[in-house]
A and B are shown apart, each in its own frame.
Chain A
Amino acid sequence: MAEAQQVPETAQAPLPTGPSQPTPSAPAGATLLRRIVTGTPMVSLLSVVLAIVIGGILMAVTNPKVATAAGYFFGRPGDTIAEIFRPYAALVQGSIFNWEGADFTAQIYPLVETFTVSTPLIFAGLGVALAFRAGLFNIGAQGQLIFGALLGAYVGFTWHLPPGLHLLVVILAGIVGGGLWGGLVGFLKARTGAHEVIVTIMFNYVASFLLLFLLTTPAFQRKGSTNPISPFLDEDALFPALLGPQFRIHAGFILAILVTWGVWWILNRSTIGFEFRAVGANPNAARTAGVNVGRATVLVMALAGALAGLSGIAQVAGTEKYLSGGVAASIGFDAITVALLGRSTPWGTLFAGLLFGAFRAGGVSMQAVTQTPIDIVLVIQSLIVLFIAAPPLVRAVFGLNPRRPKKAKEPPRAKAPMSTSGAAS
C-alpha cells in the first residue's frame, strides 16, 4: 500500500531532530490534529492492545463470577483465568467465528454480521478521515449521515423507478444530501471562518431533530402507524443481498470497499487530493503554491459529507430498509474513532471499521452469553481514542519512549553533522 509513504512517520517521532519545526503559527488544535493524523501504525496497534487489556481488567473486577473463582484461586487458578477470558471469548465467537454453530452458515454468521455492521462505519469513517487529511475536524458525520439517509429514503419510498436505476438514484440522493450538509460547513468555514468543530456539532443537532420532526409529518410517516417511522423503501431501491436471505449482508459492503479505493485514489493520485493534503499539512505553503484554500475546504467537506451520506444509504437501503429516528445510532461518532484508529488513511479506516464492526457484532453476543454489559465495548472504544491521542503515554506503557535531552526547549539544530553526510561538502 502506498499509504506508508504518504504519511510522515517514525522519522519524526523518535528524536533526535525532534518533530521538525512545528509550524510556529499553527494553533494548538491543528498541531494536535496533525500529530494524531500522522501517528505511527504501531501506536494505533498498541492503543488497541492496551484498551483491550484495560477492558479485560475492568470486566474482571466487576464480574462476580471472577470474584467467586478468585476465592479459590490457589486451589484452581484455571477457573479464575477462564472467567476473565470468557467475555472476550464470547466477543470473538460473536464477531468472527462461532465454533459452536450447528452448520457452516451458523459458524460464519458472526463474521458476515461483522462485515454488515462495519459497512456504514467504513463509509462514515472515510468521510471523517478525508476531512482530517485536509486539516478539518469533521465531527459532523452524524448529521451528514442523517441528511443522506433522509434524502435517500425519501427517494426510495416515494419514487418508483425501474430496478437498478432506483437504487442508483437513492445512492445519488444520499451523496447529494450528505454532500450539501457537509459542503455547507466548508462554505461557512471558508467564507466566515466559522470553526468546523462548532458548526458540525450544531449541525448534528439540527439534523437529528429535523429527522425526528419530519418523521411525524405525512410526507415521511408510515401510513397507519403512530410510530415516527417511514414507509419501507421499494424493493428496487435496496442493496441486493450478497449471500442470500439467511444473512443480512448486502452489496453496500462491496461498495464500501470500492469507495475506499476511490478515496485512496483521490487522496494519493488526484490533483484535488494533492491540494487537500497540502492544505492539511501546511495551509500557508498551499496558499503560496496557488491552492485556493477556501475552495479546497468546501470541496473536501462536501466529499466528506457525501461519504457520510453513503453511510446513511447503507443503513436505509441496506440493513434497516426504512427510516427511523435511530437510523444513525452512534455511527457518526464511532466514525471519528474509526478514522483516528485508521490514522486517516483509507485502507486503515477500512480495517478500523471492520474492527469496530466486530466490537459491535460481538458485543451483543458477549452480553447475551456472559451477561457482560455491552457498555464495556464503548469503554474499550473510548480508551482506544484516548490512547491514540496520547502516543507518548502508549509508548511509555510499552517502554518505547526515547530518552529525551534534559529540558530540550528547542530541538537541537543538529541535522547536519551526521545525518546529511555531505550537505555542505
Chain B
Amino acid sequence: MKLELRGITKRFGALVANDHIDLVVEDSQVHCLLGENGAGKSTLMNVLYGLYEPSEGEILVDDKPVAFRGPSDAMAAGIGMVHQHFMLVPVFTVAENVALGAEATKAAGFLDLDATRAKIRDISKRYGFDVDPDALVEDLPVGVQQRVEIIKALVRDARILILDEPTAVLTPQETDELLEIIGELKASGKSIIFISHKLREVKAVADVITVIRRGKVVGDAPPSAAPADLASMMVGRPVSLTLNKAPAEPKDTTFAVRDLTVAAPNGQRVVDGVTFDIAQGEILAVAGVQGNGQTELTEAILGLYKHASGSVTLDGNELLGRSVKDVLGAGVGFVPEDRSHDGLVGAFTVAENLVLDLYDRAPFARGLGMRPSRVATQAAEKIAEFDIRTPSADVPASTLSGGNQQKVVMARELSRPLRLFIASQPTRGVDVGSIEFLHRRIIAERDNGTPVMIVSTELDEIMELADRIAVLYRGRLMGIVPGGTPRDMLGLMMAGMTAEEAAAHEAPVAAGTGAAGADDDGAHRAASSFGIDVVTDDSDSGDTHG
C-alpha cells in the first residue's frame, strides 16, 4: 500500500506545527521520521491517524485522496498506530485487549473470543511474536505488551503501521527483537513509519529517512548517511556526537551507600540492598530499564522516603533519616528524573524556579523576607551562563521548551558548591544541541572534584558519561562495570544477569569459542577475554548476585 502526504500543514492558532510536509511511503518500506522532540513528528502522525484535521494539504492512499474524521477511518483505510504509551487495559488478557473495540459476539451478545485467539496465534506464528492470547497484559514485559499493540493493528488488517518512539521503553535486547519484527513485517508487504530521535536505530532499520525540523521536512537521507550528518540535519547546525572527555581522576571516596533498601507500601522491595561508592571526580552511571528502582534509589538518597534502611554517608555524615532540606544543605545537588513533576513549579517564573531550593538562603533571603533584586540578578546570570532561551526571566517556566526547562533545573542545582551531584535522566526530552551542552556541564562538575551520580535509561547517555556503570534490575544491583563495557553485556545485565553471568554469556560469542563457561572460574576467564574487569565489591555481600 502506498501512502502519500501532500503539503500537510497543521496550525494551532499562530503556531505552525507542520508546515507543508510532503511524504511518500512506498509499499514494503520502512520509512523513518527523524527529528527532535517538538519537531512535529507526532503532530504529523496524529494528522495521519485522524486525530487532528490538517489545516491544509491532503492524504492519498494508493493515489486516491482520503479524509479521515477519526482513528476509525484511518484504521478502515489500513493504517494502524502503536502509540508511545500503550493503550492497553492491564487487567484484561491479550485476547480481550485485541478484541476491545471490535468485539465479535455470539448469540445473545456473548463475547466470541475464540476467533480473536485464533487470529492472535496465527499472527504470532507468522511473525514470530511469541504471545499467549490468554496472558494478562499486566503480567507481560513491556516488549511483549508492545507486540500486543502491533497485533491489535494487524488484526484490523493494517497495511501501514505507525510506530511512535517504539524503543523508548525497551531494553537493548527488546529493541533488537523489535527491529527484527519490523524486518518480518516489511518482508510480508507491510509498510512501516518508524518515528524516532535515536540515530542508531534509525540507521539500523530504515529504507528511507526523512528528517523533520521545526515542522518542516529538512530532507531525505539514505540509511548509510553518517550519524553526524543526520544529527546536524536534525538540529540545523554541526553537532559533535562525542564528548572526548578526559579520563576520570578519582580522588577520595566521599560518598558511600551501604545496603540501601526501600520498601514500597505493599512490602515489595523497590530498592533491595544496594551498595556502592562514588569517589570525588568520578561519574557513576546507573543503568537500567525504566522502573527498576532508579527513581526510588535517588529519592531515598535525597531523603524523600521515611522507610529506607541501610546507610548513606557523604563526607562521613549519615544522610539517611534527615530531611530533604538537610540533605540539600549538606551539599547535594539533585536533578529529578521528571522535571515538570518534581523539578520545576511550572506556574512559577523562570527566576523563581532558579532559586526553588535556595529561596531561604543568603543572598536570596534575609530573615523572613526575600530579596527580589538578588533573585533577579541570579536569574540574569544563570540565563546567560546556561544559555536558557526564554523571552524573559519573568515568564512561567511551563512556557519554556523541554530543553530549556532542563537547563533551568541544571543551572539551579549547579549554582552552588556541591559535595555530591545526582542527576536522573539529565537529558530526557532535551534537544540534541542542549544534550551536548548539559553533558559538558556534568563532566565539568566531575572535573571540579565532585562525586557525580547519573541515572539514565538511555544507554547512549550512559556510555557517553560513565566512568563506572552500575546496573539496576528489580531494585537490585547486578554489578558495577567499567565505563567502556559493551552494550550487549549491559543489556544482559539490564535484563537481570549479574556482571559475571553476563560476561559468561557474552564471552563465548565474542571470543568465537563455543565454551559455555558455566563455572565461576570460567565466567571470570570469559569476562577477561571480553576485556572487562568484573568489579565485585566485597562489602556487597551476596545480595546483588542473587
Contact = CB atoms under 8 A, between A and B. Distances in A.
Contact of A288 (B17, B237, B342, B432): B342
Given A38-B347, A416-B38, A424 B432 contact: yes
Contact of A424 (B16, B398, B403): B403
Nearest to B394: A5
Contacts of B325: 290-292
Nearest to B341: A284
Contact of B324 (A275, A282, A288, A408): A288
A288 B235 CA distance: 32
Interface stretch (B267-275, B364-372, B510-518, B535-543): B364-372
Contacts of B396: 8, 11-12
Interface string A262-277: 0000000111101101
B289 interface: no
Contacts of B434: 423-424
Contact of B12 (A5, A15, A285, A289): A15
Interface string A112-152: 00000000000000000000000000000000000000000
A414 B40 CA distance: 6
A402 to B, nearest CB: 7
B192 interface: no
Interface string A5-18: 10110011011110
Contacts of B403: 423-424
B179 interface: no
A305 B265 CA distance: 34
Nearest to B355: A274
A271 B359 contact: yes
Interface in B7-48: 10, 12-17, 19, 36-40, 42-43, 46
Interface in B418-438: 431-434
Given A274-B352, A417-B215, A420-B389, A285 B345 contact: yes
Nearest to A37: B347
B346 interface: yes
B123 to A, nearest CB: 27
Interface string A412-424: 1111111110111
B345 A23 contact: no
Contacts of A38: 347
Contacts of B236: 424-425
A413 B14 CA distance: 15
Interface in B286-302: 302
Contacts of B383: none
A380 interface: no
A406 B347 contact: no
**Residue of B324, B325, B336, B347 with most partner-chain A CB within 10 A:** B347
B217 to A, nearest CB: 13
A287 B360 contact: no
Contacts of B53: 405-406
B357 A289 contact: yes
Nearest to B399: A11
A269 B357 CA distance: 16
B181 interface: no
B375 to A, nearest CB: 10
B348 to A, nearest CB: 6
B346 A269 contact: no
A23 B39 CA distance: 23
A288 B236 CA distance: 36
A230 B189 CA distance: 90
Nearest to B327: A290
Contact of A287 (B19, B43, B46, B304): B304
Nearest to A20: B398
Contacts of A290: 323-325, 327-329, 357
B404 interface: yes
Interface string B326-364: 011100001010001111111111001000110110000
A416 B13 contact: no
Given A11-B399, A282-B347, A417-B38, A288 B302 contact: yes
Contacts of B51: 406-409
A119 to B, nearest CB: 27
B241 to A, nearest CB: 15
The listed residue with most B CB atoms (<10 A of its CB), out of A16, A292, A408, is: A16
A335 interface: no
B38 A20 contact: no
Contact of B346 (A24, A274, A282, A420): A282
Contact of B368 (A8, A23, A271, A277): A271
A370 B38 CA distance: 61
B400 interface: yes
Contacts of A92: none
B340 A23 contact: yes
A20 B15 contact: no
B398 A21 contact: yes
Nearest to A25: B341
A405 B356 contact: no
B410 to A, nearest CB: 14
Contacts of A271: 359-360, 365, 368-370
A25 B404 CA distance: 23
B347 to A, nearest CB: 4
Contact of A405 (B37, B52, B213): B52
A281 B43 CA distance: 29
Contacts of A424: 36, 213-214, 235-236, 403, 431-434
A278 interface: yes
Contacts of A414: 12, 15, 17, 38, 40, 43, 215
B401 interface: yes
Given A282-B346, A405-B52, 20 more contacts: A12-B398, A23-B340, A269-B372, A277-B345, A282-B345, A284-B341, A285-B342, A288-B342, A288-B343, A292-B325, A412-B52, A413-B37, A414-B17, A414-B40, A417-B19, A417-B38, A419-B399, A423-B389, A424-B235, A424-B434
16 contacts: A8-B347, A12-B399, A15-B12, A20-B340, A20-B399, A21-B398, A270-B370, A282-B346, A285-B343, A290-B329, A412-B43, A414-B43, A415-B402, A416-B214, A420-B400, A424-B36
Identify the 10 closest CB pairs spanning chains A and B, nearest first. Answer: A16-B12, A416-B38, A290-B325, A289-B357, A414-B17, A417-B215, A20-B398, A417-B214, A271-B360, A423-B401
